[in-house]
């Protein structure tokens, strides 16, 4: 039985720990603070696909992961007895001009399963549909959602129930065996120092959670804003992308997000705000996840850089990292290598 230590209790660390535990490895996950303390503890949970035109390995990898997600999260829920909030509810986007979208819709038909089709509609479903200047909306059936905090708790419990060990509130001591570093923004800084070149940095994001029940409505993407209804009677709104910031506390920028969401979706006008969140999300210089061995450190591996797409990429990343560490099989796309 292979013994693996994973440093970091965000979505990459938890997903990899679950996959390796499920395959029979002896896994110990160490988190310096608490599960989901970093960028995986926000609200939004939008599992949205990349645009299907101009296809590349990153988009193909993400599509594989999004299609794996339903079975992945169902397995986590069965093993943990807890909800993840996962559902493939689709996404609506208001359309200004339909003509440029014809190629996108055709590309989705070529590459996505038929039941996840992208199409134009003049009759959007759900009570969060924003106004559209053309009277048309773009709907896709591939987009899904989950609750980041619920998903993290479900993964942690599934790992424990399967015999894995999770240690919170401690820094790692002496380490042996394969070690996987999934430490988000601090991990990118560590890599940059160790390799003496910029690998990535943290980008501040802020989001809000409103009390409004629309569990089965599609999520909305409009004017750069994600509006995501969750199964627990809440709607998440996010997020900002701030390259320069003085602190990681929520601030007045969230008020602008909330005001924009209320304008786009009038049914949210009186929905009370129940939580505000801010954190640094790890963005690699390439904007693709960083996966594979840590150069110059035999037995050490990295999974990092899940900026905006971490939850959507997690099932596939867990698979390829387990393949690499447990079986020595390298299926990492070239553009994801450090």
Q: What percent of the chain has pLDDT over 90?
A: 96
Whether the pLDDT of residue 172 is over 90: the answer is no
Whether the pLDDT of residue 99 is over 80: the answer is yes
The answer to which of 169-183, 188-202, 232-246 has the lowest mean pLDDT is 169-183
Question: Which pLDDT does position 173 carry in this prediction?
Answer: 82
Query: In which domain, by residue range, is 8 found?
Result: 3-336
Question: Which pLDDT does position 175 carry in this prediction?
Answer: 85
Q: Are the C-beta atoms of residues 159 and 17 closer than 8 Å to each other?
A: yes
With 0.95 as the threshold, say if the pTM is over it. Answer: yes
Whether the pLDDT of residue 182 is over 90: the answer is yes
Report the largest interatomic distance among the alpha carbons of the chain, rounded to a whole angstrom.
Answer: 61
How many other C-beta atoms are found inside a 10 Å radius of the C-beta of residue 263? 15
Question: Which pLDDT does position 174 carry in this prediction?
Answer: 82
| pLDDT tens profile 12-66 | 999 999 999 999 999 999 999 999 999 999 999 999 999 999 999 999 999 999 9
Full 3-state SS string of the chain: CCEEEEECCCHHHHHHHHHHHHCCCEEEEEECCCCCCCHHHCCCCEECCCCCCCCCHHHHHHHHHHHHHHHHHHHHHHHHCCCCCCECCCEEEECCCCHHHHHHHHHHHHHCCHHHCEEEECCCCCCCCCCCCCCCEEEECCCEECCHHHHHHHHHHHHHHCCCEEEECCCCCCCCCCEEECCHHHHHHHHHHHHCCCCEEEEEEEEEEEECCCCCCCEEEECCEEEEECCCCEEEEECCCECCCCCCCCCCHHHHHHHHHHHHCHHHCCCCEEEEEEEEEEEECCCCCEEEECCCCCCEEEEECCCCCHHHHHHHHHHHHHHHHHHCCCCCCHHHEC
Q: Which of 268, 290, 239 is nearest to 41 (CA)?
A: 239
Question: Which pLDDT does position 211 carry in this prediction?
Answer: 98
Question: Which pLDDT does position 177 carry in this prediction?
Answer: 85
Section 250-273 average pLDDT: 96
Whether the pLDDT of residue 1 is over 80: the answer is no
| pLDDT tens profile 269-327 | 999 999 999 999 999 999 999 999 999 999 999 999 999 999 999 999 999 999 999 99
Q: Are the C-beta atoms of residues 208 and 43 closer than 8 Å to each other?
A: yes
Question: Which pLDDT does position 176 carry in this prediction?
Answer: 80
The CATH number of whichever domain residue 242 belongs to comes to 3.50.50.60
Number of domains making up the chain:
1
């Amino acid at each position: 039985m292979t013994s693996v230590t994973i440093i970091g209790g965000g979505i990459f660390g938890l997903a990899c720990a679950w996959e390796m535990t499920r395959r029979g490895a002896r896994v110990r996950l160490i988190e310096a603070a608490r599960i989901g303390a970093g960028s995986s503890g926000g609200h939004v949970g939008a599992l949205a696909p990349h645009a299907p035109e101009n296809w590349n390995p990153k988009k193909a990898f993400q599509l594989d992961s999004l299609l794996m997600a339903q079975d992945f999260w169902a397995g986590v829920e069965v093993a943990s007895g807890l909800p993840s909030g996962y559902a493939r509810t689709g996404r609506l986007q208001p359309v200004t001009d339909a003509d440029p979208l014809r190629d996108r819709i055709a590309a989705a038909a070529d590459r996505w399963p038929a039941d996840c089709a992208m199409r134009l509609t003049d009759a959007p479903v759900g009570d969060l549909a924003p106004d559209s200047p053309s009277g048309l909306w773009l709907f896709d059936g591939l987009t899904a959602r989950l609750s980041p905090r619920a998903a993290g708790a479900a993964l942690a419990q599934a790992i424990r129930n399967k015999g894995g060990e999770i240690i919170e509130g401690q820094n790692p001591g002496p380490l042996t065996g394969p070690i996987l570093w999934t430490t988000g923004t601090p991990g990118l800084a560590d890599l940059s120092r160790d390799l003496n070149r910029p690998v990535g940095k943290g980008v501040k994001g802020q989001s809000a959670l409103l009390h409004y029940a629309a569990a089965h409505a599609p999520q909305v993407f409009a004017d750069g804003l994600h509006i995501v209804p969750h199964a627990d009677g809440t709607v998440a709104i996010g997020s900002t992308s701030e390259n320069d910031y003085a602190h990681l506390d929520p601030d007045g920028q969230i008020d602008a997000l909330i005001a924009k969401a209320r304008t786009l979706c009038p049914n949210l006008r009186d929905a009370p705000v129940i939580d505000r969140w801010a954190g640094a999300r790890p963005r690699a210089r390439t904007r693709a996840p960083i996966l594979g061995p840590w150069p110059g450190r035999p037995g050490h591996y990295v999974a990092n850089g899940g900026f905006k797409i971490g939850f959507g990429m997690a099932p596939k990343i867990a698979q390829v990292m387990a393949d690499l560490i447990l079986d020595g099989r390298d299926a990492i796309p070239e553009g994801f290598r450090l």
